[in-house]
Amino acid sequence: MPVINSLLDSDFYKWTMGQVVYFNFFNTPVKYKFINRNKADKFPVGFDRKLKKEILHLSTLRLTPGEKEWLLKQNSIYPEFVDWFEKYRFNPKEVSVKLKKGELDIEIAGPWQRTIFWEVPLLAIISELYFNQYQPGIDIWVAKQRMYHKSKILQFPFADFGTRRRFSFEVQNALVYVMRDDNPHFLGTSNPYFAMMYRIPPIGTYAHEVVMAMQALTGREDNTVWLECWQKFYGKQYSIMLTDTLTTDYFIRKVPIEFFRLMDGVRLDSGDPIKVGKKVLAYYKQCGINPKHKKFVWSDSLNPQKARVIYERFKDETNCVFGIGTDLTNDVGYKPLNMVIKLASVKGNPVVKLSDDPGKHTGDGYAIRKIKEYCQIKE
């Protein structure tokens, strides 16, 4: 059976971002590239052929009437955009796949409003194909017992962010089922298909790629340009700011205070979670903003134990929320892949992500040096 069988088996913020791209940046040419952060993980001979077969299957998927109805019910998702997406088809010609000496080389190129939807299903396919060799050794009931154990630790607000690097569709399905029924602190899932199926909230706002794109599309400070666009479009909906596209220090230094006042909170996705959290907390207080009225969403490589430490540190000072991914959907006894697909260029111009962790920087080396120099970022 193919890995992906619904257009909604992805991440919700692809629709919240995709809608803004559709109305504001239609037909903007972009490129994405696959990055395997752990070079020791090699892909077997023939893996590229299997992946291409799955990509062809993606092109056969259609938005069903029930899925369209669900999308139309989501906050601030416009009928015009849903009508366009109803006609959407994945185009395999937008994706180049090569395999050489165990290393995958994948590039996605085309109009931004189309190519934005490739990242999550492609990563989920790569992960599940890679772990198919271990499927006979997986007992889903044992996996569920691990999930119940984690649920006992997760006694604070959290959501499932685990589609990209899940072990399999079956494991993520079990995870959402267990957490929905067992844990009152479970807020929902970033996966629209499971949100629809289990009648729970879809979770998501925006990702690094849209801030990165502003580097090439405007001559102004990119975080601010994107937030202006986002806030005008959504107002108080999906009102969480992502701080670390060009480091949190830069975000604090450059983003106008009114956004810290207007938006509901921040998502912290790299660096030392305690240090970065303290830094943003201090800035809210410096601005005369009560952080108890804001949300801090941590989402970087979390597990229940790590999230609990962060929660205990900040629970009395702000509203803590955790987006937990791979540890929930790929903890079945095998080491998960450490891979991403990142925006590489917009209109032929390279874009970069610096992050609060140098190990997560992406982009051309020369472009990274230039943007560090321009933004006066020192590490």
- Structure confidence by residue, pLDDT tens digits, 225-259: 999 999 999 999 999 999 999 999 999 999 999 99
CA distances, 88 to each of 68, 75, 81, 112, 117 (Å): 12, 21, 10, 13, 10
Q: How many CB atoms lie within 10 A of CB 5?
A: 14
Q: How deeply is 180 buried, as exposed, middle or buried, from its count of CB atoms within 10 A (0-12, 13-18, 19+)?
A: middle
**Residues 156-183, mean pLDDT to the nearest whole number:** 97
CA distances, 71 to each of 117, 125, 141, 195, 338 (Å): 15, 23, 32, 11, 31
Identify the CA nearest to 223 among candidates 177, 255, 264, 265.
255
For the cut 70, the answer to whether the pLDDT of residue 192 exceeds it is yes
Q: Where in the chain is the domain with CATH 3.20.140.10?
A: 13-135+338-365, 139-329
- Structure confidence by residue, pLDDT tens digits, 45-81: 999 999 999 999 999 999 999 999 999 999 999 999 9
**Residues 22-50, mean pLDDT to the nearest whole number:** 96
What is residue 368's predicted lDDT score, i.e. its pLDDT?
87
What is residue 376's predicted lDDT score, i.e. its pLDDT?
82
| 8 A C-beta contact, residue 81 and residue 23 | yes
CA distances, 338 to each of 12, 105, 325 (Å): 21, 15, 12
What is residue 371's predicted lDDT score, i.e. its pLDDT?
85
Task: Please give the Cα distance from 200 to 170 (Å, whole number).
Answer: 18
What is residue 58's predicted lDDT score, i.e. its pLDDT?
98
| 8 A C-beta contact, residue 251 and residue 278 | no
Task: Please give the Cα distance from 143 to 163 (Å, whole number).
Answer: 16
Task: Please give the Cα distance from 222 to 241 (Å, whole number).
Answer: 13
What is residue 126's predicted lDDT score, i.e. its pLDDT?
98
% of the chain exceeding 90 in pLDDT: 89
Question: Does the model's pTM come out above 0.75?
Answer: yes
**Residues 282-297, mean pLDDT to the nearest whole number:** 98
Does 139-329 carry CATH code 3.20.140.10?
A: yes
**Residues 180-200, mean pLDDT to the nearest whole number:** 98
Does 13-135+338-365 carry CATH code 3.30.70.270?
A: no
**Residues 24-39, mean pLDDT to the nearest whole number:** 96
Task: Please give the Cα distance from 245 to 363 (Å, whole number).
Answer: 12
For the cut 80, the answer to whether the pLDDT of residue 348 exceeds it is yes
Average pLDDT, the chain: 96
Tokens 């990119």 belong to residue: 222
For the cut 70, the answer to whether the pLDDT of residue 379 exceeds it is no
pLDDT-wise least confident of 141-145, 324-328, 360-364: 360-364
**Residues 264-277, mean pLDDT to the nearest whole number:** 98
